[in-house]
C-alpha cells in the first residue's frame, strides 16, 4: 500500500467516524420548549362634552320656536357593549322664571331622535347598541316651544339647566 492509498483510507475512516459521532450526538439531543404570552388590557373610556350654539342664552320665548339649535354634544366611547345618552332638566322641561312660577314649557330633540319633554329624572335620549370605538360623535340638540306673549309672563330672567350623561351598557 502506498502513502496516498493509506492517506485516503485513513481520511475515509476519519470522515466516517465524524458522521457516526455526529449521528450519535444528535440522536441523544434533548429539546425543551418555553412559551411567552404577552397581553394588554384597555380600560373602558366614555366621555361627553357640550358646546352651546346659537342664542341658547337669549331665547325669544315670546314667539313660537321650532327646532332652535342650542348645543352640540360630543360622545366618545370604547365600550364593548355600547352606551346610553341620558338627559334631565332641573325645571322639568320648562324655561322657568328665577323669581316666580312663570315658565315656558319646551320639547328637546337630541340628534335625529324624537322631541321629548324632559323631567327631573334621567331619560334615555340615544342608545348605541353596538359596541366599538366612537370618538367625538356629534349630535345636535334643539328645542321647540310655544311662544307666550310678554304680557302673560312676569319680567325677569328665565332658565333651565339640562344635564346630559353618557353611560356604558
Structure confidence by residue, pLDDT tens digits, 114-165: 999 999 999 999 999 999 999 989 999 999 999 999 999 999 999 999 999 9
Kindly state the cell numbers that stand for 51. Answer: 358646546
Which class is domain 46-168?
A: mainly beta
Q: Which ranges in the chain belong to alpha helices (H)?
A: 3-27
Contact, 166 vs 77, CB < 8 A? yes
pTM passes above 0.75: yes
Q: Where are the domains of the chain?
A: 46-168
User: Who contacts 162 (Cβ-Cβ below 8 Å, separation ≥6)?
Assistant: 87, 88, 89, 90, 108, 118
Residue 38 dihedral angles phi and psi, to the nearest 5°: -105, 145
Mean pLDDT of the chain: 89
Beta-bridge mates of residue 165: 86
Contact, 72 vs 53, CB < 8 A? yes
Tens-place pLDDT, residues 82-126 = 999 999 999 999 999 999 999 999 999 999 999 999 999 999 999
Classified as helix, coil or strand, 122 is coil
Amino acid at each position: 500500500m502506498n502513502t496516498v492509498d493509506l492517506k485516503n483510507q485513513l481520511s475515509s475512516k476519519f470522515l466516517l467516524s465524524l458522521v457516526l459521532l455526529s449521528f450519535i450526538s444528535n440522536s441523544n439531543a434533548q429539546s425543551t420548549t418555553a412559551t411567552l404570552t404577552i397581553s394588554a388590557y384597555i380600560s373602558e373610556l366614555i366621555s361627553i362634552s357640550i358646546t352651546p350654539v346659537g342664542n341658547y342664552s337669549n331665547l325669544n320665548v315670546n314667539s313660537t320656536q321650532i327646532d332652535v339649535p342650542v348645543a352640540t354634544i360630543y360622545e366618545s366611547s370604547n365600550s364593548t357593549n355600547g352606551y346610553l345618552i341620558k338627559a334631565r332638566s332641573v325645571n322639568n322641561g320648562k324655561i322657568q322664571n328665577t323669581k316666580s312660577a312663570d315658565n315656558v314649557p319646551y320639547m328637546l330633540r337630541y340628534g335625529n331622535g324624537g322631541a321629548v319633554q324632559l323631567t327631573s329624572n334621567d331619560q334615555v335620549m340615544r342608545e348605541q347598541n353596538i359596541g366599538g370605538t366612537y370618538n367625538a360623535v356629534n349630535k345636535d340638540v334643539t328645542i321647540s316651544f310655544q311662544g307666550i306673549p310678554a304680557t302673560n309672563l312676569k319680567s325677569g330672567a328665565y332658565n333651565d339647566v339640562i344635564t346630559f350623561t353618557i353611560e356604558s351598557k
